[in-house]
Amino acid sequence: MRSINSLKKNREFQNVYRQKHSFANKYLVMYLAKNEGKESRIGISVSKKVGNSVVRHRVTRLIREAYRLNKEKLEEGWDIVIVARPLAREQEFFGLEQAFLHLGRLHHIIRESK
């Protein structure tokens, strides 16, 4: 199984935040920055406002899975930071996946299916 390429360092997150290119919906905020690599990378941020550690980890896993299942639909070469909003804790997988895809369409990083 191939692992997901992710942002890990604070410096990488701050670089994406500095681009100030973001869209939001009820459950998620998506920040976007072009990277020099061929692959897209994702960083996920879930604050204590969302819930305790069990809830935060669950939301993180759901967002990561939504990214993994839809990675082939996304354009390559982007650094993506997803910030979960407090209402995300009440969503099941399908709701968070739809929120993720909605933000991808707003950013125009979803490839058109032929």
In order of start, what are the domains of the chain with their CATH numbers? 10-107 (3.30.230.10)
Q: Which two tokens stand for residue 76?
A: 């390559």
Residue 36 — very low, low, confident or very high, per pLDDT cuts 50/70/90? confident
Tokens matching residue 58: 């669950």
CA count, 13 A, side-chain hemisphere, 93: 9
Q: Using the structure block, give the residue that is written with the tokens 């990214």.
A: 67
Distance CA 71, CA 88 (A): 21
Please list the helix, strand and coil fractions of the chain in percent, rounded to the nearest 5, in that order: 45, 25, 35
Per-residue pLDDT reduced to its tens digit, 63-80: 999 999 999 999 999 999
